[in-house]
Amino acid sequence: MATQNMYSFFLRRLHSLTGVLPIGAFLAEHFFTNSFAMFGPEVYNSKVEFFMGLPYIILIEVCLIWIPILFHGLYGMYIVFTGQANVTRYGFFRNWMYLLQRITGIVAFCFIVYHVYATRISGLLTGQHVSFESVQQSLQNPLILVFYVLGILSASYHLGNGMFGFLITWGIAIGEKSQRALSILCGCVSAGMMVFGLAALSYFA
Ligand code: HEM
């Protein structure tokens, strides 16, 4: 029993940590890199070529992006479907945040599966990297555009609100005053990421 508790404690901590590092940091870097689209197709495509040409790129992607996202996403699904959203019993602000954290996790999961397939796996299968033009073309479909908007909004909310959970989980936000201040700061992170992500999307659309 004690071993099982320790095991689940370790998995919860690892889930919490991977949400910020490397996934949260990668999300910010990803929005930043995609912002190069503001300078037009040539500049954007040269950045893609640069990243695709990095030595050990597949190893870097697998270790720093794919495995952490797979672990965080699948364990997150396990938490969602074995936990209880108690928003109907207690209508407090924090309970809505808790429920939204789970809903945005599920939306982000569906979006990431689609996005990784469309922009990376299909490229590996056909040998054709993603480019400014291919992203622009796929966004001509209004359903895909809406899916991107939803994916960006969900991932941004999830990261900002998740950072607040992270600060509590790791005992950094203790006390009512600091929690109130940090919850505002994390709200700003969510809002900032939403603007940052949607701006990057707009350069393609
Ligand atoms: C965009 C990619 C993602 C990022 C940046 C991210 C980030 C985070 C962060 C920072 C936390 C807070 C950890 C804590 O409370 O200590 C978190 C929590 C959580 N994440 Fe994610 N996450 C992502 C994707 C996902 C996906 C795909 C799922 C799948 C459902 C998911 C499910 C969850 C759940 C359920 C929690 C709450 C855990 C708890 O309350 O103990 N996340 N995430």
Flag whether pLDDT at 61 surpasses 80.
yes
Rounded CA separation 84/19 (Å): 20
Mean pLDDT of 9-24: 98
Q: What is the pLDDT of residues 111-122, one digit of tens each?
A: 999 999 999 999
Question: Which residues are CB-neighbours of 173 under 8 A, at least 6 positions away?
Answer: 164, 167, 179, 182
What was the pLDDT predicted at 91?
61
Rounded CA separation 27/162 (Å): 13
| Ordered domains of the chain (ranges, CATH) | 13-204 (1.20.1300.10)
Measuring from atom 5 of ligand 1, which residue has the nearest CA? 24
In the chain, the amino acid numbered 102 is: R
Top mutation candidate among 101, 106, 107, 148 for ligand 1, by most atoms within 8 Å of CB: 101
Flag whether pLDDT at 53 surpasses 70.
yes
Note the pTM of the prediction, 2 decimals: 0.94
Flag whether pLDDT at 67 surpasses 70.
yes
Q: What is the pLDDT of residues 72-99, one digit of tens each?
A: 999 999 999 998 666 656 568 889 999 9
Ligand 1 residue neighbourhood (C-beta within 6 Å): 16, 19-20, 23-24, 27, 72-73, 76-77, 79-80, 101-102, 105-106, 108-109, 112, 155, 158-159, 162-163, 165-166, 169
Burial class (CB in 10 A: 0-12, 13-18, 19+), 54: exposed
Pick the atom of ligand 1 nearest to 15's CA.
Answer: 13
